[in-house]
Structure 1
Amino acid sequence: MDSGGIDKRRLYELLWVAPAGPRRGPRPAFTLAAIARAGIAIADTDGLDGLTMQRVAESLEVTKMALYRYVPGRAELVALMLETAIGEPGPPPTGVDWRGQLDDWTRQMYDRFRRHPWAHAATVAPRVPGPNELAWLERVVAALADTGLTGGERLDVAVLLLGHARNLAQHASAGPAGQGREAAFTVLVRGREDRYPALDAALRPAAAGTVGDPTLDFGLARILDGIAVLIATRATGVG
C-alpha cells in the first residue's frame, strides 16, 4: 500500500482482473460496473467532494461495510468510476490520415470530460490506468505509427492532446459549450473596460456567440500544425 493509502495490487486486480464480486461470503449482489455507475451518478451531480463510500452504499441500498467487500476504499472506487466513465474509445474514422484521427480522438476525449467534470481531478496524479485508458492511448500511438515519430514522441503527443481536451473541458463546465472561459472573463471585465481594453475588445466576438467550440478548435489545430511540422522534418531527415 502506498503513502496515499491505495493498495496498488488490489487496484490492479480491480481494473485488470475484474473479479466478479467479493472473494468470500454470499453470492455477490452487484457487479463492479454497477458500483462504479452509482458513484458516477453522485460525482456527476456533486463532484468528488460529494462522493463518499457511505453515499454510494446508500444509493445501492447496502451498508458501507458490505460495499467494502467489493471495493477496498474511495480511491479505488474513483479509479473504477473513471474507467467506466471514459469507456472504450469509438472506432477511428475511416479514410482519414493521422491528423484526422487525432482530431477525432481529441474531440471524443473532450466530450468524455465535459460529461464528467470530476474526471479532471481524478486524472492529474500518478495512478494505475485501466484497460479503457490504454485503449485510448493505443489509438493515438497507432495513428502515428508510420509518421517517423519515435515511440516516446507518439506517447508525448497523446499526453499533449489529453491535456488540451481535459483542461478545456474543465473550463467549459462553467458555462455553455466552449464559452466557460470567455463568459467568466466577460463578467470580470464588465465595468472595467478602461483598465482592460484589449481584453474587452477580444471578448466582444465571443459574447456575440459563435458556432461550434472555437477554443477547442483553435488550440487543437495549432497542436496538430506543430506535430505536422515535426513529421515533415523527419521525412526530410532534418529533425
Structure 2
Amino acid sequence: MIALLWSPPAPAGRGPRQRLSLDQVVEAAMALAGRDGIEGLSMRKVAAALGVGAMSLYTYVPGRDELFELMIDRAWADRGRADPTLPWRAQVEQIADQAWQMYQQHGWLVSSNPARLPLGPHVLDAQEDLYRAIALTGLPEPDVVRIAGAVEGHVFGAARAVVVDARQAAATGVSSDGYWESRASFWGTYYSAERFPTMTRIWEAGGFDLEPDPGADMRFGLAMLLDGVELAVRRRAAAT
C-alpha cells in the first residue's frame, strides 16, 4: 500500500496495454463517493463507472480499503499551502480554512479515521505545513503536536456535523429546521426552566437565535482555540 501511495506503477511498456491509469480509478471512485457516500462505494461500482470488469480493477489496487486510502491522499492534495511570510496564527487560520473547504468539496472524507490517515505524500505535506506554522510559536514539540491535533480535530468535527446533517436531510426529506419544528411540542410539555436554568437564561437572552453559519461557527471555535495558544506563548515568554 505504501508503494502505491508513493510510487504508483507506470503504464506497462510491453504486453497487453492497461486501459486505465491508477489516477483514473481513484478519480472515478472519488466521483462515486461524492455522489453516493463512501458507504455506497464498491469495486464493482467503480468498474462499472469506468466501463471495465470488476476483476480488472484489482490489477490497479488490491481492494476497496486500499482504494479508500488513495482517495484520501488525493483529496488532501486539494489543500493549498499557508503563506510562510505570515505570522503563525494567520498561517494556522489559512490551513484550517483550506481543510474546511476540502471537507466541503469531498464530504465523504468525514468517514475517514483521523487517527489512521494514510502515509501518503499529500497528507504528510499538509501535516508538515501545519506543524511548521505552529512550531513558529516556540512552544515545546509535544505541545506543537497536541495543538495540531486540536486544530485538525476541531475542523474535522465541525465539517462532519455539516456533512452528516446534509446527508440526513437528503435521505429523509426533512431539513434541519423541519426536524426541530416537528419536535416543537417538547418545549411546552417536558422542558423545565427550573431543571435547566442556564439554558433558559441563554434562551431568553437570544443566545440561540443565531443564523446558521457553519463556516463562521468553525472559525469562532478556532479563534477560541488559538487565543489559548497565544496565552500559552505569552506565559512561556514571561517565564524565561
The answer to whether the superposition gives a TM-score over 0.5 is: yes
Identity among equivalent pairs (%): 29
Closer, same or farther in 2 for the Cα pair 1:187/1:101, shift >3 Å? farther
Closer, same or farther in 2 for the Cα pair 1:212/1:51, shift >3 Å? closer
The C-alpha deviation readout for 1:128-175, integer Å capped at 9, x for no partner, is 321111111111111123322222322222211111111111111224
- TM-score scaled to structure 1, two decimals? 0.81
After superposition, residues 92-111 of structure 1 pair within 5 angstroms as 92-93=82-83, 95-111=85-101
1:219 corresponding residue in structure 2: 221
Deviation at 1:113, TM superposition (A): 1.1
2:8 corresponding residue in structure 1: 18
Amino acid at match of 2:73: E
1:80 corresponding residue in structure 2: 70
Corresponding residue to 1:205 among 190, 209, 226:
209
CA radius of gyration, larger in: 2
Q: Distance in 2 between matches of 1:105 and 1:167?
A: 15
1:46 corresponding residue in structure 2: 36
Amino acid at match of 1:78: F
- TM-score scaled to structure 2, two decimals? 0.81
Q: Is the 8 A contact 2:89 2:226 kept in 1?
A: yes
1:5 corresponding residue in structure 2: none
Q: Matched residue of 2:186: which SS?
A: coil
The C-alpha deviation readout for 1:112-133, integer Å capped at 9, x for no partner, is 1122222122234525321111
Deviation at 1:29, TM superposition (A): 2.3
1:142 corresponding residue in structure 2: 132
Q: Distance in 1 between matches of 2:90 and 2:43?
A: 41
Q: Is the 8 A contact 2:131 2:144 kept in 1?
A: yes
Deviation at 1:88, TM superposition (A): 4.6
Give structure 1 stretches of 5+ with no counterpart: 1-10, 176-180
Q: Distance in 2 between matches of 1:152 and 1:100?
A: 21
Closer, same or farther in 2 for the Cα pair 1:88/1:212, shift >3 Å? closer
Q: What's the Cα RMSD here?
A: 2.9
Give structure 2 stretches of 5+ with no counterpart: 167-174, 194-198
